[in-house]
Amino acid sequence: MLHSPIWRPIQRSLLWFGVAALAYVSATAVYATLYQGYQSRRFEAELAVSRDISRPILEAPTDLHEGALLGRIDIDRIGLSVMVLQGIEERTLIAGAGHVPGTSVPGSEGNVGIAAHRDTFFRKLERILPGDRIHVATFRGSYDYIVGSVETVDPTDTQVMESRDYRELTLITCFPFYFVGAAPRRFIVHARPANSGEGAGSVESQALSSIEEP
């Protein structure tokens, strides 16, 4: 039956669909790799220039449009290093990790939210453990955080992005990591400053539903 003339056009269509899907995934991966390399070089160059400029450490960022370069996250123990861009639109999350709009920026009071896809930049978060050190480098300075806990939540549970009476870094990705299709949960990493600095702030969050894979 599968060799009948009726099935042949369907088989060809499925074959071409698979080829097109594979080509898209491959092209996206290549683009992300090249873009990360470009942004890394740009970050290091601009950082070198900024070291010669005297400015207050808590100076507010002036360029927070979607896709703007904010800095880099490194988690050495699990081999994770990714450039962080502003925003969580799909085109931004294809190119890097995204700083959640409305949340604090590293070095400021409140909760810093950063999201990325589970099948690309945040895949290695599956191996993260309490006590791991997260290094965040920005144009304003560098900041170290220590992972305190991890959890999984529903996409509608935005409480994980709320600010408390201390500084915090929250990493967000989809879960389970190897789930096929739209992942039903979110994987959350909570980290506090390594120097235990505290502060207060307020945030608004849309991240938990925004990072779903298309």
Parallel, antiparallel, or unpaired: how do β-strands 168-175 and 111-115 relate? parallel
d(CA 99, CA 121): 13
Residue 4 falls inside a structural domain: no
Residue 19 falls inside a structural domain: no
Residue 5 falls inside a structural domain: no
Q: Can you give the pLDDT at residue 48?
A: 75
- Residue 116 burial class via C-beta count within 10 angstroms: exposed 0-12, middle 13-18, buried 19 and up: buried
Q: Can you give the pLDDT at residue 58?
A: 43
* SS percent in the chain: helix, strand, coil, step 5: 30, 25, 45
* Span 123-145, average pLDDT: 95
The answer to whether 123 and 177 have CB atoms below 8 angstroms apart is yes
Residue 198 falls inside a structural domain: yes
Residue 199 falls inside a structural domain: yes
d(CA 144, CA 134): 6
Write out the two tokens for 163.
């600010």
Total count of domains within the chain:
1
d(CA 165, CA 201): 7
pLDDT class for 195, splitting at 50, 70, 90? confident
pTM listed for this prediction: 0.77
Residue 11 falls inside a structural domain: no
Which region among 25-39, 81-95, 122-136, 165-179 has the lowest average model confidence (pLDDT)?
25-39
Q: How many residues are listed for the chain in this entry?
A: 214
- Which range marks the domain in which residue 125 is found? 50-210
- SS in 3 state form for 49-84? HHCCCCCCCCCCCCCCCCCCEEEEEEEHHHCEEEEE
For residue 198, give the CATH number of its domain. Answer: 2.40.260.10
Q: Can you give the pLDDT at residue 57?
A: 44
**pLDDT value at 97 more than 80:** yes
User: What share of the chain has pLDDT > 90, as a percent?
Assistant: 50
pLDDT tens-digit profile of 23-70? Answer: 545 556 777 788 888 888 888 887 777 665 555 444 555 568 999 999
* Span 124-133, average pLDDT: 97
Q: Can you give the pLDDT at residue 38?
A: 80
Higher-pLDDT residue of 17, 106: 106
Euclidean distance between the first and final Cα of the chain, in Å? 34
Residue 125 falls inside a structural domain: yes
Residue 63 falls inside a structural domain: yes
pLDDT tens-digit profile of 170-185? Answer: 999 999 999 888 889 9
d(CA 141, CA 47): 9
